[in-house]
């Protein structure tokens, strides 16, 4: 039976990448050792790291005045690293609140500065994103932070907010590489790898150079972006195996035609699911149409009493990890880059059958 893993993270990886990693595991390119065993300062691993960065730069069109950092600690560490590095003498920052991840970023930032919440969608259980025109921004804010894709609520913001001279900061953990992004519009982008990049343990930061070097007093060395930038992410031992797998994923994306092509695939996959949800009263999407995520699709059954039977039936068909987050209820299908179209078709087919039997 083919297994389709709809987990929100750690999530599905491309089959080709896993098979290549398997083939190269004990002996990478005739080196006689696994990538896991290599010195991070040796010629072979330095080559792997440089290729990974070059491919990521090519995929996202990252301008030359941006640094790419390969860090650890997850997106959650960035909730603290962002204010520590980007306050630059200022005392407050702007945050948009669109869900559980925004809330965590806000909570952590409050340890370092005043937080001005420019707008919130908590009034309707985070089922939409407030219109940019209504955001109440503080002209003195050090930066403007938002979460372009709320992984739990399945709420995506497709247009990039125009932040003017205030650096725009984005937690792209669950949307990075799903479609083209104009990096030049951002001061800083961060993402945990385990959704759309590779294994958990690697965190990627893309940051404009001029924002570096003005950390708040007491910032630990490991939390200073400039230290990592000056040392090409080799200040300490970076997550080498995760960087290697991420590099294979970047090459896989390039082979498939890059991010414009990936966006077409992703839109097509998401439409299969949303079109079906819109055509029935048995299931329902709780998210406003304009903000429906291409990556995380929550949906509820008209009778929550059927949830357990739905999940059980799904598992017997190899459709796994569909249980929704407790804050939304129902189901959530995460359909990241590596989820094949066939997986979404199998899910829709099962939903149709379940509706026929239980509807």
Ligand X SMILES: *Cc1c(COP(=O)(O)O)cnc(C)c1O
| Catalytic site residue from 55, 171, 224, 269 | 171
Indicate the residue among 67 and 325 with the shorter CB distance to ligand X: 325
Note if 171 is an active site residue: yes
* 246 vs 301, beta carbon nearer ligand X: 246
320 contact partners, CB below 8 Å, separation of at least 6? 3, 4, 5, 6, 7, 314
Cα(173)–Cα(65) distance, rounded to whole angstroms? 22
207 by Cβ neighbours in 10 Å (0-12 / 13-18 / 19+) ranks as buried
The nearest distance, CB 245 to ligand X, in angstroms, is: 15
| Cβ–Cβ < 8 Å for 277, 313 | no
Q: Give residues 83-142 in contact with ligand X (rule: CB under 6 A).
A: 101
Smallest distance, ligand X to C-beta of residue 175, A? 8
Q: Could you count the other beta carbons within 10 Å of the beta carbon of residue 218? A: 7
When the beta carbons of 265 and 332 are compared against ligand X, the nearer one is: 332
Using rule CB under 6 A, residue 173 touches ligand X: yes
Tell me the backbone φ, ψ of residue 208, rounded to 5 degrees: -70, 130
Measured from the CB atom, the residue of 101 and 112 that comes closer to ligand X is 101
Structural element, H or E, at residue 258: helix 258-278
Residue 238 near ligand X by CB under 6 A: no
Looking at 192, 238, 242, 343, which residue binds ligand X (CB under 6 A)? Answer: 192
Q: Taking phi first (over 0 means left), then psi (-120 to 50 degrees means alpha), and beta for anything else, what does residue 256 get?
A: alpha
Size of the site for ligand X (CB under 6 A): 12
Closest distance to ligand X from the beta carbon of 171 (Å): 5
Active-site annotation holder among 28, 55, 103, 195? 195
Give Cα separations from 217 to 83, 115, 207 (angstroms).
12, 19, 20
Active site residues: 101, 171, 195
Contact set with ligand X (CB under 6 A): 9, 74-76, 101, 147, 151, 171, 173-174, 192, 195
């Amino acid at each position: 039976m083919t297994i389709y893993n709809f987990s929100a993270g750690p999530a599905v990886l491309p089959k080709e990448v896993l098979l290549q990693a398997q083939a190269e595991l004990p002996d990478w390119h005739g080196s006689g050792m696994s990538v896991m065993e290599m010195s991070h300062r040796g010629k072979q691993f330095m080559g792997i790291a440089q290729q990974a960065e070059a491919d990521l730069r090519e995929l996202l069109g990252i301008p030359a005045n941006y640094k790419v950092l390969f860090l650890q600690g997850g997106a959650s560490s960035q909730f603290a690293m962002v204010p520590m590095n980007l306050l630059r003498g200022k005392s407050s920052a702007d945050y948009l609140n669109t869900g559980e991840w925004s809330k965590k970023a806000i909570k952590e930032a409050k340890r370092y500065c005043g937080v001005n919440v420019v707008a919130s969608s908590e009034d309707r259980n985070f089922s939409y994103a407030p219109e940019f025109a209504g955001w109440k921004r503080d002209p003195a804010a050090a930066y403007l932070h938002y979460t372009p894709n709320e992984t739990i609520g399945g709420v995506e913001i497709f247009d990039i907010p125009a932040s003017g001279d205030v650096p725009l900061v984005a937690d792209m953990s669950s949307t990075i590489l799903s479609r083209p992004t104009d990096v030049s519009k951002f001061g800083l982008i961060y993402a945990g790898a385990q959704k759309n990049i590779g294994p958990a343990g690697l965190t990627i930061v893309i940051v404009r150079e001029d924002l570096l070097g003005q950390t708040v007093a007491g910032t630990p060395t490991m939390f200073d972006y400039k230290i990592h930038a000056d040392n090409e992410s080799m200040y300490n031992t970076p997550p080498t195996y995760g960087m290697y797998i991420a590099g294979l994923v970047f090459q896989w994306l390039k082979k498939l035609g890059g991010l414009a092509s990936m966006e077409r695939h992703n839109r097509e996959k998401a439409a299969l699911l949303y079109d079906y949800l819109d055509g029935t009263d048995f299931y329902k999407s709780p998210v406003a149409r304009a903000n429906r995520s291409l990556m995380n699709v929550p949906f509820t059954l008209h009778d929550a009493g059927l949830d357990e039977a739905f999940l059980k039936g799904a598992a017997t068909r190899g459709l796994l990890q569909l249980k929704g987050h407790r804050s939304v209820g129902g189901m959530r299908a995460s359909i990241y880059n590596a989820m094949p179209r066939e997986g979404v078709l199998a899910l829709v087919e099962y939903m149709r059958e379940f509706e026929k039997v239980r509807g």
